[in-house]
Amino acid sequence: MQPYRNPIQSVNHVAYRCRDAEETRHFYEDVLGLRLSSTLWLKATLTGRPVNLLHIFFEMDDNSFVAFFDIPDEFDEALFPERSDFDLHVAMNVADMETLLSYKERLTEAGHRVRGPSDHGFLQSIYTHDPNGYVVELTLKTDKYDEIMGEHVENAHEILKEWQKAKGRVAAE
């Protein structure tokens, strides 16, 4: 498979709302072991509009981040439903099965429900929810990862077109 090149190099961070910065820190730093690497307390936007929010960043091994905004003045519990695996979630890679299983044990001991490992053929995954209701998926690439993902790359546009056709038929019924 030919290496894919794009001017967009990698993910710097993904950012979500959180219920509470400390509760979120505990999960991502104490339970998952990601380093709390930056906290930005913003009291005004770049345009001078007053705000009161804390932006927190948790660093992964590749120097990318999962980040959160704690905005108490705009708190709304409706923003934090427990989500299904098919909704908004973050999936992070681990190096080996031993690590994946140790995270399952670590999360379970910390009182979190954990599902898996689930064998997707190209990935083994475990799933849990963070304190904000977001799904956190920890994944291990299998030895079939490159082969299966390569097949999907080759057929991606064709499969998408077929999906759109099928979706249209379903909508017309």
Task: Tell me if 117 is assigned to some domain.
Answer: no
Task: Tell me if 122 is assigned to some domain.
Answer: no
d(CA 56, CA 21): 7
Supply the pLDDT for residue 13: 95
Q: Return the DSSP state at 74.
A: G
Read off the pLDDT of residues 9-41 as tens digits, 9 standing for 90 and up.
Answer: 888 999 999 999 999 999 999 999 999 999 999
Residue length of the chain = 173
Domain extent at residue 42: 10-75
Task: Tell me if 18 is assigned to some domain.
Answer: yes
Q: How many CA atoms lie within 13 A of 134 on its CB side?
A: 22
Read off the pLDDT of residues 43-101 as tens digits, 9 standing for 90 and up.
Answer: 998 999 999 999 999 999 999 999 999 999 999 999 999 888 888 899 999 999 999 99
Provide, for the chain, the percentages of residues in helix, strand and coil under a 3-state DSSP scheme, each rounded to the nearest 5.
35, 30, 35
pTM passes above 0.75: yes
Query: Within 10 Å of residue 108's Cβ, how many Cβ atoms?
Result: 13
CATH code, domain carrying 22: 3.10.180.10
Task: Tell me if 28 is assigned to some domain.
Answer: yes
User: Looking up tokens 């993904």, which residue turns up?
Assistant: 14
Supply the pLDDT for residue 5: 77
Structure token digits, residue 57: 């960043």
Task: Tell me if 71 is assigned to some domain.
Answer: yes
Position 6 pLDDT exceeds 90: no
Task: Tell me if 98 is assigned to some domain.
Answer: no
Confidence grade of residue 148 (pLDDT, cut at 50, 70, 90):
confident
Lowest pLDDT segment from 6-10, 146-150, 164-168: 6-10
Confidence grade of residue 172 (pLDDT, cut at 50, 70, 90):
very low
Total tally of structural domains belonging to the chain: 1
Read off the pLDDT of residues 94-137 as tens digits, 9 standing for 90 and up.
Answer: 999 999 999 999 999 999 999 999 999 999 999 999 999 999 99
Task: Tell me if 24 is assigned to some domain.
Answer: yes
Task: Tell me if 171 is assigned to some domain.
Answer: no
